[in-house]
Amino acid sequence: MNTQPVYQARGITKKYGNVVALDNVDFQVSAGEVVGLVGDNGAGKSTLVKVLSGAHKPDAGELLLDGERVEWDSPHDALEGGIETLYQDSSLAPDLTVSANLYLGRELLAPGFWGKLGFLANKRMDEAARLELEKVGIAVPSSSRSVAKLSGGQRQAVGIGRAVAWANKVIILDEPTNHLGARQSAEVLEVIKQAREKGLAVIFISHTLPHVLEVTDRIVVMRLGRIAADAPTSTFTPDSLVKSITGLDQLAG
Ligand SMILES: Nc1ncnc2c1ncn2[C@@H]1O[C@H](COP(=O)(O)OP(=O)(O)OP(=O)(O)O)[C@@H](O)[C@H]1O
Ligand SMILES: [Mg+2]
């Protein structure tokens, strides 16, 4: 069995001015594994996501993809490396259609004359977008509808669909079930399980601990910019997980 992590962060430190958001953090995820990343508000989860996705450069530490050291100068670099991210503050363009959002930055160009002029193949894109979203079990009213006219949950679904459709190694979902109703949340958890089946490495950030306990293989707990716990999901109970997040486990000892 190949146990080399597909993506690994070693000794990552990231400061915002005087705030140490990440303090010597080690983190890793393997192919076909879902890792839950949890912690109180301000623990450093989104900052770690931004380092992993190439949005922020760490002040110290290194990233290894398939065991090779990588350095991202932009989120685009990480995308090309096979790492897809759904940011907490979702990055969809509200004035564009669903399909344009799905293909943002990688628009299909119509072949031949029109392609040379750089026109987008809208029809093809709409159809392909519908198929991609269908494949991951995400239903939106119409892929040619502008994202501004979707509900918050539908918009979220498009962002998740985009990430799953394009990822070929790692998918990072920062609070993907936020603003979602029970049924839509269940669908997102299904999509996560499918991504694992496809052999992707999945990082799932959430404050909804029952979701984390349901869908993950391993849970990493962050507290004040550090890793407080990193263990198989089966070793946590709802109670012990809360204690680990709040730091009450330290007092009990
Ligand atoms: N752009 C920024 N500038 C300055 N400080 C920041 C910035 N982003 C985050 N921080 C600080 O870094 C720390 C970690 O924040 P981060 O957003 O990573 O937390 P989080 O675990 O994602 O929290 P939440 O659960 O609320 O999303 C916090 O103290 C936060 O105030
Ligand atoms: Mg966050």
Per run of 10 residues, the mean pLDDT along the chain (length 253 residues) is 84 96 98 97 96 96 97 92 83 72 63 49 74 70 74 77 86 87 84 90 96 97 97 97 91 58
CA dihedral 123, 129, 132, 137 (to 10 degrees): -120
* Alpha carbon distance 132, 51 (integer Å): 28
Which listed ligand is nearest to 21 at the C-alpha?
1
9 closest CA partner among 28, 32, 30, 23: 28
Residue at 149 is within a domain = no
The answer to whether the beta carbons of residues 26 and 228 sit under 8 Å apart is no
In this prediction, residue 117 carries a pLDDT of: 44
In this prediction, residue 46 carries a pLDDT of: 94
In this prediction, residue 138 carries a pLDDT of: 66
Residue at 137 is within a domain = no
* Alpha carbon distance 204, 227 (integer Å): 16
Residue at 132 is within a domain = no
Distance 108 CA to ligand 2 centre (A): 33
Residue at 140 is within a domain = no
Which residues lie with the beta carbon below 6 Å from any ligand 1 atom?
Answer: 16, 19, 21, 39, 41-47, 88
The answer to whether the beta carbons of residues 11 and 61 sit under 8 Å apart is yes
Residue at 113 is within a domain = no
In this prediction, residue 109 carries a pLDDT of: 54
* Alpha carbon distance 163, 194 (integer Å): 13
Both tokens of 214, joined, read 């349901």
Compute φ and ψ for 19, nearest 5 degrees.
-80, 120
Distance 122 CA to ligand 2 centre (A): 34
Residue at 134 is within a domain = no
Distance 46 CA to ligand 2 centre (A): 4
| Adjacency order of strands within the sheet including 7-16 | 19-29, 7-16, 60-65, 68-70
- Domain span at residue 25? 7-91+167-252
Tell me, what CATH number does 185's domain have? Answer: 3.40.50.300
Residue at 191 is within a domain = yes
In this prediction, residue 104 carries a pLDDT of: 67
151 closest CA partner among 123, 130, 181, 124: 181
Q: How many independent structural domains does the chain possess?
A: 1
